[in-house]
Structures are given as structure tokens and as C-alpha cells.
Amino acid sequence: MDIENIGFETINLGHGSGGELTRNLLDKIIFKTFSNPYLDQKHDGSIVKIEGEVAISTDSFVITPIFFKGGNIGELAVHGTVNDVAMCGAIPKYLSLAFIIEEGLKVSEFIEIVQSIKKAADESGVLIITGDTKVVERGKGDKIFINTTGFGQVHPKANISVHNIKEGDKIIVNGFIAQHGMAIMSEREGLEFESTIESDSTNLNFLVNDLLDVFGDKIKLFRDPTRGGIGTVLHEIANDINKGVFLKEAIIPLEKQVAAACEMLGLDPMYVANEGVFLVVVDPSVENEVLNVMRNHKKGKNAAIIGEITNEHPNKVVMESLIGGKRIVSPLVGEQLPRIC
């Protein structure tokens, strides 16, 4: 997209007024980029057909910085909501997309974000079908915030519920944890440090769909451990089912440089945010088969069975440490790193 043909270099309040400047912004960037039969109607909304049960999830993205190693706020806004819909056991189909832009944002930055959204949506197999754009005064925002709402068709074999979980069920993670949080931390103002760690932001819906195709209701639960990391999600599960969770630290996938960065900053990787990771609780009769399917998929090649559900220590997460002792993974109080997504 040629910025010279856009006609303006920065976004101002007029671009959110609903007048000619708004039309220029929409026509030259948004409608042009996301063109499809639904959006091309330029209506207040879209009418779509989805058969069967529908999963809906919405999320807002306020990450800082808006560009980071491995991605930007645009693709994150797609991946985050696509993955939330997939965690419901659904096949994501459509997204709504809303921008809140701070006056003064460079058009070049906005175009890069919009193009990343388009690429991520195409790779995830979803269409942008409706949206909104607002502009706030300089100093009243932080460059750009994005909201996305996802709609998906529930998989016919899915029966995803925390209440399906039983003692002995196995917990599997699809790959390395804590990468997204540490990638953001390495670029956060005042905390910068040399690192090659990249965000793991990616869509997980195709791997989830493959698992449901093969294993159906043997899959008890999917959860993506974004804010609060896997420690927080596992605590929520333990509390919801009034059972315990037992983990083995040695098996949890963690890259050495991520572990070193966490240690340097005094952070526990169990609570660091992820954007390309999900946990799946499965019936023990299929644990190895599930693991093999995951490891044969590019989004699950580092998958590992990290623990199980137990009737011991209800409502607690207990982890066997690297040296063989046991410790309680306490609930996270507060936020290790704000505005991570």
C-alpha cells in the first residue's frame, strides 16, 4: 500500500468524526485491505449463517509496545480471539474489528498493523465482517487499542467443559511456555535487555480442530494461558472442579534463554503470559495418542504431558521440582507484567 496515495501521514481527530476524513481512512486502508462480500456492503453490521451451536468470544488489546519481537498488536488481536473461540471447541469463522486510535498515530504504523491483521486472519481462516473506528485526543490513549469479537461453529464432536474432568485425566501443553511475556519484557521501556526471545503469538485453531476430529469427547478441556500463565489457569481449573493438580517441573517445556531471563528478572515462568500456548486435559486412555498428534503438527511439536488431575490436595496445584522436592504453586496475586496483551 503506497502511503503517498493515502493523502495523510498521521491520524487526527477528524478521522474519527464520521465525515470525509473518516471515509478516506476507511476506503483507502480498511475496506481496501479487508475487502470481502460481507464488508463490501459497508453496512452497520453483517448478516451471516452459521449452522448449529455458535461460540462467541470478545477481547480487547492494549499491549505496549505495539510492535515487538515476533509480532504486533494487530496480529495479536486476531490470534487472541481466534484462539479463545477455538478453546470453546469451535471452528472460528468471523471476526469483528474495532480500533481506538490516539490522535497522532503515524499512518505508516497503522497500515502495518492493518496488514498484519489481514495476514493473521487469512492464515487463521477467518473473515473480518464488521467493525468500528474511533479517534481520541492526543494523550487520552496510547497509540492504538483494538477490540475483536470472534464467532465460530462448535465442532460436532466437542464436549468441552471443566465439569467433564475426572481424577487421572492428563494435562498436556502444546509447547514452550513464557515466551510472549518475556519478549514483551525485553522491549518494555526501562527494562530493555539483550534478547533474541520472540513472542509465540500464533493461531491454534487448526491443531485444536485436528484433536477434536480424532478424539472427540476424550478431550475434556482446552484453555489458553495468556495473562497469568499456566500457573493461574491450572489454579482456576483446580478450584472449579474441587480437585488437585500435580505437575512435574522437569517436563514443562521452557527454553533456556527464557528461563535465564525469568531468573534474571525474578519472574516465575509459571505465571508469565503466553499467546501461542494451550493446555488440554484428556482422558488417560488417549494421552499418548493425543501427544503424538500434537507433536506431528507445527503448532505442537514441543508438546509434553506435564501433569494430571488428582483427588489429593484439592484446590491446590503441587509441582515436583527439578531436584525432586514438592512445592505448592500459589495463586498469582496482582499482575507480574501489566498490558501484556
pLDDT bucket at 299, cuts 50 / 70 / 90 = very high
Can you give the pLDDT at residue 2? 64
CATH architecture for residues 9-154 = 2-Layer Sandwich (3.30)
Can you give the pLDDT at residue 206? 98
Backbone torsion region of residue 190, taken as left when φ is above 0, otherwise alpha when ψ lies between -120 and 50, otherwise beta: left
CB 67 within 8 Å of CB 108: no
pLDDT digits (tens, 9 = 90+) for 149-208: 999 999 999 999 999 999 999 999 999 999 999 999 888 866 666 778 999 999 999 999
**Percentage of the residues of the chain whose pLDDT score is greater than 90:** 88
pLDDT bucket at 260, cuts 50 / 70 / 90 = very high
**Percentage of the residues of the chain whose pLDDT score is greater than 70:** 97
Largest CA-CA distance found in the chain, in angstroms, rounded: 67
* Beta strands at 90-102 and 127-136: parallel, antiparallel or unpaired: parallel
- Give the Cα separation of 291 and 219 in Å (integer): 12
The residue assigned the cell 519481537 is 69
**Mean per-residue pLDDT, 5-14:** 90
The pLDDT mean for the chain works out to 95
**Mean per-residue pLDDT, 87-96:** 98
Instruction: Kindly list the domain boundaries of the chain, sorted by start residue.
Output: 9-154, 162-329
CB 114 within 8 Å of CB 33: yes
Can you give the pLDDT at residue 235? 96
pLDDT digits (tens, 9 = 90+) for 220-254: 999 999 999 999 999 999 999 999 999 999 999 99
- Give the Cα separation of 287 and 282 in Å (integer): 6
Output phi, psi for 93, to 5 deg: -120, -45
Residue scoring higher pLDDT (262 or 7): 262
- Specify the range with the lowest mean pLDDT, choosing from 25-29, 44-48, 188-192, 262-266: 188-192
Per DSSP (E only), the strands in the chain are 54-61, 67-68, 71-72, 90-102, 127-136, 144-154, 170-173, 219-223, 244-248, 279-282, 304-310, 317-320, 326-328
CATH architecture for residues 162-329 = Alpha-Beta Complex (3.90)
- Give the Cα separation of 194 and 322 in Å (integer): 27
Q: For 96-128, b where at least 16 C-beta lie within 10 A, e where not — what string? A: bbbbbbbbebebebbbbbbbbbbebbeebebbb
